[in-house]
Structure 1
Amino acid sequence: MALRAPDISDASSIAAISIEVWVGTYLKRGVNRFFADYVLEQFTTAKIAALIDDPDRFILVSDNAEGIDGFICVASSSVAPVEGCSDMEIATFYVQPRHHGKGIGTQLLKAALNHCRACNVQSVWLTTNAGNDPAIAFYLSQGFEKVGETHFRIGDEGYLNNVYAYRLGSVQ
């Protein structure tokens, strides 16, 4: 596993991982048109390429011998849905499920937190679906604290999300 910044040629791989992880995590009982349309509209190669080019985004991918198996995206100008958080958000953090437990997520998160420290912010925040127990357990094990709740919106529908914050110290 090697961590590196992505280039535009990685956009389709990142889009594919995004679709795989999002569908596998949140659509446990089948895929309906509502969610399929959302996923196919959100996770396009063009949208991912725009994120890679966005100067307010810090993105790292985990690369193995076969290709990208995970990535993390930090946004530096996100208004948190609860008070007391910085504008630094872990906006997206996906590792292919078959690569869970190999340390990929831990290494991506550690690198992202070091980036945030270098930006001299006091904390970084993220949201995750309130029912995503594996992600919640991971974030808590890494030192995140639940600081509130919000709703992830798709159209007129809202889905409960927890807000977690990590208080940054020195570079480790």
Structure 2
Amino acid sequence: MRMNHALSLRPAAPADAPLLAAMHAASWQATYRSLLPADYLEREVGAERAAYWRARMEAPGGERRLVLIAQLDDGTPVGFVCVERQPGSPWGVLLDNLHALPGHQGMGVGKRLMQAAQDWARAQGEAQLYLYVLDGNTPAIAFYERQGWTYSGSEPDRMGGVDITALRYVYRLDAV
């Protein structure tokens, strides 16, 4: 499936927190149906993501973070990425969020956002990125593995009131 519109990336501003929250919630609602409680996804995730993004976009340390919004040439937002340097992390730079909205997956949005995150991390002098993906999120796991990410461990976590397992993947940046 190919995109009919040109895709551009723009830096997110604090005023974009509601948009980021809406995209994040929509992505989780579509992706985590079989992994998280329906009640949480239907009733709580929107408000939770709104509070999260409002706080995150206003938090100090913005120089350690890059948040980009992918949009079509008509201005329609179709995804976003958030990558953040983690001082002292043995894993490198955290690719904390990578979301292509339902209906826009398989069109190169995720690849374009991931490439921007890799370019930014490389420009920061970093050698590696890492991310966490929910165990059971097989489409995302397959996507990351196709892009060259490798599994490096798992950690217990809690999300939506249930215990989950977060799988850690790493991506080694090659010098360009």
Normalising to structure 2: TM-score of the pair?
0.83
SS at match of 2:132: strand
The one-letter amino acid of 2:19's match is S
- Residues 142 and 29 (structure 1), Cα distance of their counterparts in 2 relative to 1, 3 Å cut: closer
Q: 1:68 corresponds to which residue?
A: 77
The one-letter amino acid of 1:16's match is A
Q: 2:159 corresponds to which residue?
A: 154
The one-letter amino acid of 1:70's match is G
SS at match of 1:91: strand
Q: 1:19 corresponds to which residue?
A: 25
The Cα shift of 1:152 comes to 2.7
Question: Paired residue for 2:65, among 31, 37, 57?
Answer: 57
The one-letter amino acid of 2:99's match is Y
Cα distance in 1, alignment partners of residues 35 and 119 from structure 2: 38
1:10 aligns with 2:16: yes
The Cα shift of 1:31 comes to 5.4
Q: Deviations over 1:88-131 (max 9, x none)?
A: 10011111020011111101100100101111112110000111
Q: 1:107 corresponds to which residue?
A: 112
Cα distance in 1, alignment partners of residues 153 and 36 from structure 2: 29
Pairing of 1:30-49 with structure 2 (within 5 A)? 32-36=38-42, 38-44=44-50, 46-49=51-54
Structure 2 unaligned runs (5+)? 1-6
The one-letter amino acid of 2:70's match is S
Normalising to structure 1: TM-score of the pair?
0.85
Question: Paired residue for 2:144, among 117, 139, 145?
Answer: 139
The one-letter amino acid of 2:132's match is T
Identical-residue share of aligned pairs (%): 28
1:126 aligns with 2:138: no
Structure 1 unaligned runs (5+)? none
Cα RMSD over matched residues? 2.3
The answer to whether the 8 A contact 1:14-1:68 is kept is no
The Cα shift of 1:66 comes to 4.3
Aligned length: 166
SS at match of 2:125: coil
The one-letter amino acid of 1:68's match is P
Cα distance in 1, alignment partners of residues 36 and 122 from structure 2: 40
The answer to whether the 8 A contact 1:150-1:160 is kept is yes
Comparing 146-155 with 46-55, greater Cα deviation is found at: 46-55
Q: 2:3 corresponds to which residue?
A: none
